[in-house]
Protein backbone atom coordinates (compact mmCIF):
# COMPACT_ATOMS: atom_id res chain seq x y z
CA UNK A 1 0.00 0.00 0.00
CA UNK A 2 1.28 3.47 -0.90
CA UNK A 3 0.48 6.64 1.04
CA UNK A 4 0.45 10.15 -0.38
CA UNK A 5 1.27 12.12 2.76
CA UNK A 6 0.74 15.88 2.57
CA UNK A 7 0.50 18.97 4.77
CA UNK A 8 -2.28 21.50 4.22
CA UNK A 9 -2.71 24.95 5.73
CA UNK A 10 -5.63 27.32 5.80
CA UNK A 11 -4.97 29.81 3.02
CA UNK A 12 -6.04 32.84 5.07
CA UNK A 13 -3.72 32.11 8.00
CA UNK A 14 -0.78 30.37 6.34
CA UNK A 15 2.03 29.84 7.17
CA UNK A 16 1.08 29.70 10.88
CA UNK A 17 1.83 26.12 11.91
CA UNK A 18 -1.25 25.80 14.13
CA UNK A 19 -3.41 26.25 11.03
CA UNK A 20 -1.72 23.31 9.28
CA UNK A 21 -2.62 19.61 9.31
CA UNK A 22 -1.01 16.43 8.08
CA UNK A 23 -3.28 14.42 5.78
CA UNK A 24 -2.95 11.35 3.62
CA UNK A 25 -4.48 9.43 0.75
CA UNK A 26 -3.95 5.66 0.53
CA UNK A 27 -3.57 3.72 -2.70
CA UNK A 28 -3.50 -0.06 -3.05
CA UNK A 29 -2.90 -0.36 -6.78
CA UNK A 30 0.07 1.92 -7.47
CA UNK A 31 3.84 1.79 -7.14
CA UNK A 32 5.84 4.52 -5.37
CA UNK A 33 6.89 5.90 -8.79
CA UNK A 34 3.26 6.01 -9.95
CA UNK A 35 2.39 7.89 -6.77
CA UNK A 36 5.14 10.44 -7.41
CA UNK A 37 4.01 10.95 -10.99
CA UNK A 38 0.31 11.18 -10.14
CA UNK A 39 0.52 13.16 -6.91
CA UNK A 40 0.11 16.66 -8.33
CA UNK A 41 -3.20 15.94 -10.12
CA UNK A 42 -4.50 14.17 -6.99
CA UNK A 43 -3.49 17.11 -4.79
CA UNK A 44 -5.01 19.61 -7.23
CA UNK A 45 -8.28 17.68 -7.06
CA UNK A 46 -8.12 17.64 -3.25
CA UNK A 47 -7.53 21.42 -3.10
CA UNK A 48 -10.42 22.00 -5.49
CA UNK A 49 -12.68 20.00 -3.14
CA UNK A 50 -11.37 21.88 -0.07
CA UNK A 51 -11.39 25.60 -0.92
CA UNK A 52 -9.48 27.79 1.47
CA UNK A 53 -6.70 25.25 2.01
CA UNK A 54 -3.29 25.05 0.38
CA UNK A 55 -0.88 22.13 0.11
CA UNK A 56 2.47 23.06 1.66
CA UNK A 57 4.41 19.82 1.17
CA UNK A 58 3.91 16.22 0.12
CA UNK A 59 5.67 12.88 -0.28
CA UNK A 60 4.88 9.31 -1.27
CA UNK A 61 5.85 6.41 0.95
CA UNK A 62 5.25 2.72 1.38
CA UNK A 63 2.88 2.12 4.29
CA UNK A 64 4.26 0.05 7.13
CA UNK A 65 1.26 -2.05 8.18
CA UNK A 66 2.57 -2.45 11.73
CA UNK A 67 2.65 1.35 12.01
CA UNK A 68 -0.86 1.68 10.60
CA UNK A 69 -2.47 -0.83 12.98
CA UNK A 70 -0.93 0.72 16.09
User: Under DSSP, is residue 14 helix (H, G, I), strand (E, B) or coil?
Assistant: coil
Q: What does the alpha-carbon distance between residue 4 and residue 6 come to, in Å, rounded to a whole number? A: 6
> What is the C-alpha R_g of the chain?
13
Asked if 54 and 8 count as a contact pair (C-beta separation under 8 A), the reply is yes
42 found inside a domain: yes
Query: pTM of the full predicted structure?
Result: 0.78
47 close to 53: Cβ distance less than 8 angstroms: yes
5-25 pLDDT, tens digit each: 999 998 775 556 668 899 999
Residue 51 lies in a domain: yes
> Is 70 inside any structural domain?
no
Task: Give domain status of residue 69, yes or no.
Answer: no
Query: What's the number of domains the chain is made of?
Result: 1
> pLDDT digits over 32-69, tens only?
999 999 999 999 999 999 988 999 999 999 997 766 55
- Is the separation of the CB atoms in 4 and 25 below 8 Å? yes
Residue 23's domain comprises 2-64
Amino acid sequence: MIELLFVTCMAATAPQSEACRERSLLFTDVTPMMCMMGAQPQLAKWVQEHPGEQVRSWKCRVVDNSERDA
